[in-house]
């Protein structure tokens, strides 16, 4: 199994991503770190712990990280995720206490303690913790296997017409993370807007009949209402599990290697991920970044449903 660390801000879709990581035996979840994003740091940290409790994953540690972006003010996404950050569900109180030690320190220690080239960083929120880790211990950059992140987009936006929420929340952190030399896969809105939790998908999940399945359905009901009200989507895009799915099964999406830069100075474009798709496609030695462009929708949901089923 691939060793992964998930850095996240749960978030209904972060929650599903955690379940995918817990339920699929092809990844080994070393621990979870949290970052202020969808909601405040205390709220998303509690949510991460509650999701792991509900998934019977008390062996997975949770370390809280950065409460706010490097430079900018945190503007949470309560209209999409609710006041708790995880509206639509009442999860059990976590039994495992919050682990001690800052997320950034724990990420560094974990990566440095493991074999080189074995740990994948999966980032599902603003990139604040990952950027700080790279600055605090630059040796992690060549030591991790790869960075796979949900964020950005080649052709779309949600926080603004051209910027995605995770990148727009902390563009300076994203700039650091995209410019470090590690192999990086950007799973952006081009991909995740294809991962819609349709009524058919939700019936499959509900049909599993377990507590965890009904928790997921509660979250998706709220997420659907929020996306209908705020974003004119008929069904909610379940962004974050797309990044975990790519780590488990790279064949789940079409990727294209290309340089990506982060707009920091734009008056109307701050936080935009500027992907240079002018050909020819560079090879891995010339370019360390790639972007997801298309999702195998059936294959993706099969992974998610099987993982929820495996949790039982
Ligand atoms: C991203 O922003 C958050 O609202 C979601 O959890 C996801 O990580 C989508 O733009
Ligand atoms: Ca997220």
- Closest ligand to residue 165's CA: 1
| Ranges in the chain, pLDDT < 70 | none
Q: Which ligand 1 atom is the nearest neighbour of the CA of 80? A: 4
> Ligand 1 center to residue 99 CA distance, Å?
24
How remote is the C-alpha of 199 from its chain's centroid? Answer: 23
- Closest ligand to residue 231's CA: 1
How remote is the C-alpha of 235 from its chain's centroid? Answer: 19
> Ligand 1 center to residue 166 CA distance, Å?
6
Are the CB atoms for 214 and 204 separated by under 8 Å? no
pLDDT at residue 168, as a whole number: 98
Residue from 6, 11, 126, 241 whose mutation best tests the ligand 1 pocket (most atoms within 8 A of CB): 11
**Is pTM beyond 0.90 here?**
yes
How remote is the C-alpha of 180 from its chain's centroid? Answer: 19
pLDDT at residue 102, as a whole number: 98
Closest Cα to atom 10, ligand 1: which residue?
165
> Ligand 1 center to residue 239 CA distance, Å?
6
Kindly provide the ipTM of the predicted complex, given to two decimals.
0.99
pLDDT at residue 77, as a whole number: 97
Residues 50-67 as b/e (b if ≥16 CB within 10 A, e otherwise) read: bbbbbbebeebbbbbbbe
pLDDT at residue 18, as a whole number: 99
Length in residues, the chain:
312
Are the CB atoms for 255 and 148 separated by under 8 Å? no
> Ligand 2 center to residue 57 CA distance, Å?
20
Are the CB atoms for 215 and 54 separated by under 8 Å? yes
pLDDT at residue 21, as a whole number: 99
Residues with CB under 6 A from ligand 1: 11, 13-14, 38, 77, 80, 124-125, 150, 158, 164-166, 239-240
DSSP state of 73: P
Are the CB atoms for 236 and 82 separated by under 8 Å? no
Q: How far apart are CA 228 and CA 138, in angstroms?
A: 43
**Which H/E stretch holds residue 113?**
helix 103-113
- Closest ligand to residue 219's CA: 1
User: Apex CA 64: angle with CA 182 and CA 132, to 5°?
Assistant: 35
Enzyme catalytic residues: 239
> Ligand 2 center to residue 224 CA distance, Å?
16
* pLDDT tens string 236-291: 999 999 999 999 999 999 999 999 999 999 999 999 999 999 989 999 999 999 99
Tell me how far CA of residue 239 lies from CA of 168, 209, 282, 284, in angstroms.
Answer: 16, 24, 27, 26
């Amino acid at each position: 199994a691939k060793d992964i660390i998930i850095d996240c801000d749960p978030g209904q879709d972060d929650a599903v991503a955690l379940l995918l990581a817990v339920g699929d035996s092809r990844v080994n979840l070393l621990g979870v770190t949290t970052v202020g994003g969808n909601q405040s740091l205390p709220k998303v940290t509690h949510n991460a712990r509650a999701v792991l409790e509900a998934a019977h994953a008390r062996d997975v540690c949770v370390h809280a990280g950065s409460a706010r972006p490097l430079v900018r003010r945190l503007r949470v996404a309560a209209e999409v995720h609710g006041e708790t950050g995880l509206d639509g569900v009442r999860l059990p109180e976590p039994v495992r206490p919050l682990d001690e030690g800052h997320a950034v320190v724990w990420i560094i220690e974990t990566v440095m303690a493991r074999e080189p080239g074995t740990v994948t960083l999966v980032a599902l929120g603003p990139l604040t913790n990952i950027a700080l880790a790279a600055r605090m211990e630059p040796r992690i950059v060549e030591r991790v296997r790869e960075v796979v992140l949900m964020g950005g987009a080649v052709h779309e936006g949600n926080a603004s017409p051209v910027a995605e929420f995770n990148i727009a929340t902390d563009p300076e952190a994203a700039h650091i993370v995209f410019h470090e030399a590690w192999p990086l896969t950007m799973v952006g809105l081009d991909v995740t807007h294809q991962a819609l939790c349709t009524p058919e998908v939700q019936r499959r999940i509900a049909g599993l009949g377990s507590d965890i399945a009904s928790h997921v359905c509660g979250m998706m009901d709220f997420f659907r209402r929020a996306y209908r009200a705020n974003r004119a989507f008929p069904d909610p895009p379940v962004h974050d599990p797309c990044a975990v799915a790519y780590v488990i099964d790279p064949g789940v999406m079409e990727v294209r290697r290309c340089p990506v830069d982060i707009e920091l100075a734009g008056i109307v474009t701050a936080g935009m991920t500027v992907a240079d798709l002018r050909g020819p496609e560079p090879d891995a030695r010339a370019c360390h970044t790639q972007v997801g462009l298309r999702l195998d929708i059936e294959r993706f949901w099969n992974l998610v449903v099987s993982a929820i089923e495996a949790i039982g």
